Amino acid sequence: MTSSTFTFAFTSAALRSLRLDEERLHRWKLAQRVGPSCRPGPSALCPRVWGSPHRRMEPLACHDFLVQNALFAGDLEMVRQHFTESAAVNLVIEAKGDELRWTSRKLGLWSLTYEQELTTPLHITAGRGYADCLRFLLLRGAAVDFAPSGKTALHEACAAAHTSCVRLLLSFGADPQAVSEDGFQPLHLCKSPGSLECARLLLQSSASVNVATEDEEDSPLHVAARHGLPEHVGLLLRYGAAVDAENEEGQTPLHAACSQPHEPEDIERYFEVCQQLVEHGARVDVPDRDLQRPLHLACKVANARVVELLLGHGASVNIMNYSGNTAMHNVLQVAAYKLLHQPERMVRALLNHGAVRVWPGSLTKVLRYCHAAPRVIEALINSYDRVRVPDEWAKAVPPETLQKHQGFYQSLFTLGQQPRSLQHLARYALRTHLEGRVLLAAPRLGLPPALLRFLLLDFEDVLY
């Protein structure tokens, strides 16, 4: 059963009351958004409704589908025919929105339908990138900051990344700091790769670089970081964005970048964002309201590049969040679902920076959940001089995984019958002696490259 078929029965009296409330609310919203001058007519562009030049500037409701089709199609010739010099230009059009809401359609029943949004010719053309139509409407005197739906045409153009439309609107006096009904300024809506020039135009027009959204208190830098936009981040930082601004959750832009789940192909983008933030002085160990550090979050989304960056800039490797989890806990919890993100690199990096090892009694549980990532198991096992291999280990690995990684798991289970190699024991002794300073001291030891990689837990896909 889909959401559109959900229905609930009401008594007839309750239904009449709800319908009246719905109609009152609709009339009140319309009056608030377009003002008392809105007068729906039999035809949206009927000349008799507004006979004076002043009257054509007042907002009117449009029900003419020919007008709407011309606007939505970006048909400049038809737009010119409908919007003559004597025609009203600030029309209000009711269009289907993206949100679902409960409405009464049948006697005693309510159903989910798409909420109707109020829009204007200016919003439609700006949001769809019809720059020629937009220019024509602006020259006809369309109100550039008219916002019947709670957002201006500039909001629409920025959200859709239509640079030419943003430039036009600003040149006609659009407010670059207009606040939408949801508490967003146009700069907050520049959150796609193609919106870089839109953001630049807004900043050049004196948009505030550090303005916060009303609910989440996100700055534009939070938004750009969360969406993995390195060029936007660089632009905002050049305009003086506060690198450690905190939102309502106590998160900085670095938190925002580290917490956003992303696909393997986006790892580099988020790394570049974090790299810029760190190079501009972002604090790598600042906690949010839940005591989450950027390292906790980067491990949870499994971005090995960012984890290595944060550790290299002094992130605390063993500090716990509010739930009692360290960064290592977060990696192991997602390793099986993030195989393409190379979770083994994060485990190795954490161990090389002195992460507390998993309690040996918990290795069975780790094996049960991380068996699909054998290199994670390899790094963990190699952090001990010896491990006990109980019978439960063989049962914790499914047959298909055993077959896929046969060589590795045979070597793992063999550890129960023979001691570790002398080379491994020497590695363990040296790592124990250095106590988390392996990465600092190892390059100074003058070891051959292969031996140095061995000391730093390089992967061999077999245990000795």
Tens digits of per-residue pLDDT, 36-60? 333 333 333 333 233 334 444 556 7
DSSP states of 23-56 as a string?
Answer: HHHHHHHHHHHH-TT----SSTT-GGG--STTGG
Query: The tokens of 263 are what?
Result: 């696909």
Across the beta sheet with 8-9, the strand order is: 8-9, 109-119, 91-106, 60-62
pLDDT digits (tens, 9 = 90+) for 273-288: 999 999 999 999 999 9
> What is the DSSP-derived secondary structure letter of residue 47?
G
> What is the DSSP-derived secondary structure letter of residue 92?
E
pLDDT at 21: 52
Single-letter amino acid code for the residue at 375: R
- What residues does each domain of the chain span? 1-202, 218-356, 368-464
pLDDT at 348: 97
pLDDT at 112: 59
pLDDT at 30: 52
CA distances (Å), origin 147, targets 121, 304, 451: 11, 44, 67
Residue 9, pLDDT above cutoff 70: no
HSE value, Cβ hemisphere, 13 Å, CA-based, for 208 = 11
Query: The tokens of 324 are what?
Result: 């009692």
pLDDT at 164: 98
Are 305 and 297 in contact by the 8 Å Cβ rule? The answer is no
pLDDT at 45: 37
Please state which of the four CATH numbers 1.10.357.10, 1.10.3680.10, 1.25.40.20, 1.25.40.80 is assigned to the domain occupying 1-202: 1.25.40.20
Query: The tokens of 206 are what?
Result: 């004196």
The pTM of this model reads 0.83
19 falls in which pLDDT band (50, 70, 90)?
A: low
Average pLDDT for 148-170: 97
Helix (H, G, I), strand (E, B) or coil at 13: helix
* Crossing angle for the helix pair 267-279 and 230-238, to the nearest 10 degrees: 20
Pick from 61-75, 409-423, 430-444: least confident: 61-75
pLDDT at 48: 28
pLDDT at 124: 95
Mean pLDDT over all residues of the chain? 86
Residue 199, pLDDT above cutoff 60: yes
pLDDT digits (tens, 9 = 90+) for 200-247: 999 999 999 999 999 999 999 999 999 999 999 999 999 999 999 999
Counting every residue, how long is the chain?
A: 464
CA distances (Å), origin 84, targets 45, 46, 74: 10, 11, 16
> What is the DSSP-derived secondary structure letter of residue 165?
H
pLDDT digits (tens, 9 = 90+) for 278-319: 999 999 999 999 999 999 999 999 999 999 999 999 999 999
Query: The tokens of 321 are what?
Result: 């969040």
pLDDT digits (tens, 9 = 90+) for 346-391: 999 999 999 999 998 899 999 999 999 999 999 999 999 999 999 8
pLDDT at 374: 97
Strands 60-62 and 8-9: unpaired
Bridge partners, 100 (sequence order): 114
Residue 341, pLDDT above cutoff 70: yes
pLDDT at 68: 86
State in words which class domain 218-356 has. mainly alpha
pLDDT at 96: 62
Looking at the chain, the whole-number percentage of residues with pLDDT higher than 70 is 82
Average pLDDT for 16-28: 52
395 falls in which pLDDT band (50, 70, 90)?
A: very high
**What burial letters (b/e) apply to 408-438, b meaning 16+ CB within 10 Å?**
bbebbbebeeeebeeebeebbeebeebebeb
Residue 146, pLDDT above cutoff 60: yes
Bridge partners, 452 (sequence order): none
Listed in sequence order, the residues at least 6 apart from 165 whose beta carbon sits closer than 8 Å to its beta carbon are 125, 126, 129, 130, 131, 134, 153, 157
pLDDT at 120: 93
* CA 197/CA 195 separation, integer angstroms: 6
Residue 398, pLDDT above cutoff 50: yes
Average pLDDT for 169-186: 97
